Each structure stands twice: as C-alpha cells, then as structure tokens.
Structure 1
C-alpha cells in the first residue's frame, strides 16, 4: 500500500527518486475512501450493538445496502492491483541501483507483516497487511511471468474462487430452508459480550481483537486467490507500461467505462440483494461468487472514470495524489481514529452509532486526511509510516532528507499548498 515508485538511481546501493506515476498515486488516494467506508462500520460495531445492522433505521439499512453494492468488494482490488504494479517498479529500481532485490523485498514484507500484526492486535482485526506480506512472497516467486501468462493465471484464480463460492452457495440454497421472517418484538436490554469487551479498557479491547482475529484470517485465506490475482494483474500492467501508456488516453479510458461499468453495476446490485435483501441470507455466497467475477469490471470502470473526470494537474487530483503517496500512514491512522472514537481506548461508542452517521463521519475524516496529508506532503518526502518502512527495507535511512518537499521534477506536479 505504500508508494509504488521510489525509483531511480541516486548512487550505488540506494534506491532513489525516479519520476512518479502520478495516476497511480491518485487512484491509491481515491481508494482510501472506499476502504474507510468498508472498515468503519466494523470498527464502530454497527452490526453488533443497539443500532445499525438489520435492526437499524431505514436510513441505516439503505446506507449499508449502497455501501455493499458500490464499495465493499470494489475498493480492496485497487490496492491489490497497485501492490503488484509497485512490485515491478521496485524491482526495476533495485536493478538500476545494483542492489539485490530479494533482500529488499524480504525486509519489506517482514516489516509489512509486523505492521499488520500490530494493527490487527491493537486497532482492527480485519487487517490486510499480513495477507499482503505473505502473498508478496508468492508474488516474488512468480515475478518472471510475462504479462500474458500473469493475466491467464489471474483469470484462473478468479474463476476458481468464483466456482468454489458458487458451489457452496448452491448447496446452501438446495439444503437450507428459507428463513422465517422474525416477529417484531420489543427491544431488550441485553448487550452482547463482544460489545462490552469493546467498550472496556485496553486489555478488554485487545482481547476482543484476538478473539475475532481467527475469523478475519480465515476470510483472508478464502479470498487470497482473488488478492493474488489482483497482484498478478498489477504485475502484468506494470510490465506492459499500462498506466504510463493509457493513463491519459481519454478515448481508451472512455471505452473501458462504457464497456465495463454496466457489467460491474449489474453484478454489484445482485451482490447487495443477496447480502442485504430482498433475497434472504441463503443467497449470500451466490452473491459473493458473482461479486468475485464482476468486481474487477466495476473497479476498472471507477478507476478510468476518475482519470477522465480529474485534470491530473488540478487541485482535486493533487489532493488525491498526496494522499496516495502516504496511503499506508492514512490507512493506519483511519483505524487509530476510529478505535479512539468507538472502543474503550476513547469514547467507547461501539455499537451506539448507526451506519448512516458512521458513514457521514467517514466523509469528514477522509476530508481531514486529504487536507492534512496535502500540507504534510508539501513539506516532506515520505509519510511517517512510509519512512519507517523504507528505512527497514533499505536497512538505513534515506540519503535524501525525509523533510525535503517533493520537487515538481519528481512527479510532474507541484506540491499542494
């Protein structure tokens, strides 16, 4: 999730500063908002407490349905795709610097894994960094694939996962009776133990994280083929120079949107119907199978639409690019802020706030991140966590001072003021 191109040769043994792919930073900055919308309700406990979820207001249920349809399965894919894209750029940079890429990549993945463990235990058990680190080692073993071979394997992984999910979903439909609508009843005062745990002190919150971690790791394992497929798609795109060749080709971007947006929307609407109604819960896995097949289409349409709508030198594009350059810092900060608001670390509002209000808070948090991130990246070269990860990866602090602002020559775009 860190910056994809920390590129060229500043001196033998150091990975220096090559021209950045500005469109990549924009897409990463945009994807941060989708990740926030998906993670926030889980950290806030909107599905476990007194409000939100199935028992929430009509507005809350509507927001959940829309987030499921338009966001839930579409916004982890850009980060996975860009992880693979970054991998190729980092390998090229190491080759230009005359540095052994294997040791760099191993240190980087170990650092990502350690960050993921800390994130999962302290802030949010739905962490993705540990999975990225493990699959990053698999990607290293597949680095010699050409673009066509990488795409073929990616396609096979996606289809295999979709068939697995569909098969399980059809078995559920065949052998499970339809759910009987619940009879309305008066609210009860009972609060689930998990809610008490998240509203407790530090040890209680960490214990709740550890208790939920196996389920999240199991979900990551199930969807690992999809994540690896996105890694391989990014690897293929980087080897073909897709972003550099097509990132500003408006005719090509428009064709992608026109061709794939309808496919993605149909699939996402069906997925939301399976997960959030009107279809009952027996359809959930069928919806996930459809999402596995169609989410890449909607993700590609989103990305191309964003590049069509934004002038890469406009203020909005610069704000997104600045956020993308420190996306790992932003990702962890989102979890920290939400944990302080909703768990016993701070206000203890876990399960007390509906999905609609949580989503509105996400808009405010993301806007604050864009503004503060732009100011920070106008003054320093790396975000705090990016600097830590880079230092561990290289085994030494960067020779270029971290407080040196990015010059226009570095990425073709002046710093945001």
Structure 2
C-alpha cells in the first residue's frame, strides 16, 4: 500500500517564496556595471535614490535571504530523509534516493549556470547536499558541528564583502558574461566561470554548510513543524534573530550611506583616520564589519523561518501567506525564471540595461520579476499544477 504524500507546510514554503525576492534583488550586483565597487560589491554612486536602495538592501536583503534559501534546502533534505525513514525504507535506499535527487538538482543548476547565470546556487546546494545526506542520519550534534565548520567560510565571505571596495582588481568591475556582445560569447564566459566554480566549490562555498546543516538539524527535531513543543523557542528565535540581523547590518549599511568612508583605490585618505585605500586599518575595520554583516545574516535567516512558522499557525495570517507559499512550492522554477528574464534585460547581448541603470531602477525591475513569478505560482496553485522544473525533479529525482 502506497503511503499518501504528507501535506506541504505553509510556513517554510512562504519563507522560501520570500527568500526568492531577496535573491532576485541581491543578484543585481552581478549585472550592474559602470562604476567602481564599494562594500558588498555595490556600485559607487552619488545618486541619492540608488544609495538609498543599496542601504535598504544591505539591511534587509543582502546575506539574509540567500542563507534563508539555503537553510530551507537543508530542511527539505532532512524532511525527505525523515519521511523515507518513517515509511520503513532502509538507510542505504534512502541515501541512494536522496543522492539521485541531488544529482538531478546538480544537472539543473549546471544548465542554469551555463545557459543563463554563472552565479547559480543550485549546483552548489546539490554538491553539499551529497555530503549532507551522509550526515543527516547521524546524531544531531554532528549537524551542529558541521554548521560550525561553515562559519569559517562565512568569515571569509564577510571579509570580502567588507573590503571589496578597497583594492583595485580584487574582483573585476564588470562580469564578463554580462558585457559580452553576443550570447555565444557570454556562453563561453559562463562556461569558464562555471568550471572554476566546480573546481573551487568545496572551499569557496563552504560557508553554505552553516545554513544547510542548521536546516537539516531543524528537520531532525521537527523545529518548524512541532509548534506545540517548540513555540517558545520559535518566538525567541524570531525576535532575537531579526534584531541581531538588523543591528549586525547597520554598520556596513552606514558605510554605503556615506561612500566617502571607503575611498576608491588610489584615492587620498578618507574621512576616518588611517582609512586611505589600502591602509591596514581600513581593511581590518571594513573586513570585521563585513564578517558581522555575514554572520548575523544567518541569524536573520533563522529568525525569518521561525516567524513564518509561527504566522502559518494562525488562521488569519495563514491566508495571507498562501501566495508566498504557492511561490515557495515552485521555487526551483521561479529561481531559474528570474534569470530567464533578467539575463536578456541586463546583458549587452540583450537590452544592455546593466551598464545604464542604477540600484534603485534595478530594485524596481527585480520586484517586477518577483511579482511575475508570484502571479505564475498563484495561477499554477489554482489549477493544481506543479512548476515545470518541479515536475522534472519529481520525475527524475523522486524520493
């Protein structure tokens, strides 16, 4: 007798739908060019509305909603393992099924990275998912320790986020695939970037282990599902996680609000004593602020997941979360659809907006893209259909 599938949880799905908004906004730094970079790889700008958009993104989006997406991926893997275990499947079979699912995701991510967006995250999730499948059945302490290993990567990411505007040549001012004049040339550029990403992923993306392992740990203890047991802890996490997230983001956001605090490479010393471009003090201060921004973002991601779980338990807010949850249920399709729209808009082989618009306009475009995918999700939910890529994943990587 086949066990019927368990109903989807609105809270995690809604959090995933919200994370997609953050991803499409955060990814604009990949496309925009035309000026030197400052902290968080943003464009240096004197335009007030562009600066305001960057500051808001630094406080509410950057390094916050992307970890949320990763946390929910780890949670999803943990839930699939638990359900397979509850059905009585043997551990080797469960492991093979989950590995197959990760390999299908790896293929989808690689195709997405090659054809549309070299900054694809799905292939990195899939690679670390292969490891996570081995760790999920272990004692929960193992997952906790694994999350601590990932902090090393978060520290490195944060340091680069904080110091990205100090050193000329640290990263290219433009992404080659975006300024390539033809799609064929951009394809070659993405292929090179993707190959390098695959070679360096175990080290360069090790920071993903923190949210991925925390998500899997949450699934092991039913943290987002068993509200009768975990409600007090969810409330604390929602409150203090979000408070830590905002407070941890403010110092680096303040740097964006006052761009002169980070002089362009080769410029004279800036407003803070000893903070000329390339000075040791500038790098240390900005690097530490970047680390603070990065690490507290994971706390914010956990806080958002906890808040969505609590809201989904209340009838009034549950109804309000339904559209977000519908988007979360087709998150793979929606994520790739973002690139399907954004790549031709921003790239030189398309409309070339990446070299002409600023952060404020890009944020409006991102919101429009997200609303389009939200409308698609609601339409599919009303007709009882899955997203196209969810159907592919279900057919090829069914657990």
How high is the TM-score relative to the length of structure 2? 0.79
Q: How far 1:58 moved relative to its partner?
A: 2.2
The aligned counterpart of 2:70 is 80
Whole-Å Cα distance in 2 between the matches of residues 169 and 21 of structure 1?
34
The equivalent of 1:289 in structure 2 is 291
Contact persistence 1:275–1:284 (CA under 8 A): no
Q: Which of 343, 346, 351 is the equivalent residue of 1:342? A: 346
- Counterpart-to-counterpart distance in 2, 1:130 and 1:393: 15
Please name the residue that 1:186 is paired with: none
Q: Secondary structure at the match of 1:54?
A: coil
Greater CA drift, 129-138 or 146-155? 146-155
1:390 to 376, 380, 394: 394
Structure 2: gaps (5+ residues): 263-276, 278-282
1 CA distance for matches of 2:375 and 2:393?
A: 23
1:323-351 Cα offsets, whole Å, 9 max, x none, are 01000000000010101222255423231
2:13 paired with 1:38:
no
> 2:217 aligns to what?
236
Give distance in 1, aligned partners of 2:71 and 2:205. 13
1:77-116 pair list within 5 angstroms: 77-95=67-85, 96=87, 98=89, 100-116=93-109
* Equivalent pair of 1:83/1:231 in contact (CA under 8 Å): yes
User: In structure 2, do the counterparts of structure 1 residues 210 and 312 end up closer, same or farther at CA, with 3 Å as the change threshold?
Assistant: farther
Alpha-carbon distance in 2 for matches of 1:247, 1:331: 33
For the pair 1:125 / 2:121, whether they are aligned, the reply is no
Distance in 1 between residues matched to 2:135 and 2:31, nearest whole Å? 35
1:325 to 325, 329, 332: 329
CA deviation vs aligned residue, 1:259-293 (integer Å, no higher than 9, x gap): 33332222112233467746437344323322343
Aligned CA distance change for structure 1 residues 343 and 165 (closer, same or farther; 3 Å): closer
What is the aligned partner in structure 1 of residue 52 from structure 2? 62
Task: Name whichever of 235-244 and 142-151 sits farther off.
Answer: 142-151
Q: Distance in 2 between matches of 1:342 and 1:167?
A: 28
Aligned 8 A contact 1:312 1:318 in 2: no
Structure 1 residues 162 and 201: CA distance shift in structure 2, 3 A:
closer
Q: Tell me the distance in 2 between the aligned counterparts of 1:164 and 1:208.
A: 25
Match of 2:14 among 10, 26, 31: 26
8 Å contact from structure 2 (residues 158, 294) kept in 1: no
Q: Is the contact between residue 25 and residue 320 of structure 1 (CA under 8 Å) also seen in structure 2? A: yes
Secondary structure of the structure 1 residue equivalent to 2:2: strand
CA RMSD of aligned residues (A): 3.6
Distance 2:15 2:181 in 1: 38
* Cα distance change on mapping 1:166 and 1:133 into 2, 3 Å: closer
Aligned twin of 2:250: 269
Per-residue CA distance 1:345-400 (angstroms, 9 max, x = gap): 542323111110110111222122212211112213421101101111139xxxxx
Deviation at 1:230, TM superposition (A): 1.4
Structure 1's 45 and 316: CA in aligned 2 closer, same or farther, altered over 3 A? farther
Q: How many residues align?
A: 365
Deviation by residue 1:212-270 (Cα, 9 ceiling, x = unmatched): 44676688555533211212111111111111123997654443333333322221122
Distance 1:266 1:329 in 2: 33
Task: Return closer, same or farther for 1:384/1:233 CA change in 2, 3 Å cut-off.
Answer: same
Q: Contact 1:339–1:345 (CA<8 Å) still a contact in 2?
A: no
1:257 correspondence with 2:238: yes
Structure 1 residues 266 and 194, CA gap change in structure 2 (3 angstroms):
closer
Query: Is structure 2 residue 150 aligned with structure 1 residue 157?
Result: yes
- Rounded to whole Å, the distance in 1 between the matches of 2:14 and 2:230 is 16
Q: Over residues 126-174 of structure 1, what are the superposed CA-to-partner deviations in whole Å (9 max), with x where a residue is unaligned?
A: 111111111011112212222233223313432x34566789999x8xx
Partner of 2:208: 227
> Is residue 128 of structure 2 the alignment partner of residue 135 of structure 1?
yes
1:354 pairs, out of 353, 358, 369, with: 358
Q: Deviations over 1:18-77 (max 9, x none)?
A: 12222111111111101111013423547679xx82145222122123212321101111
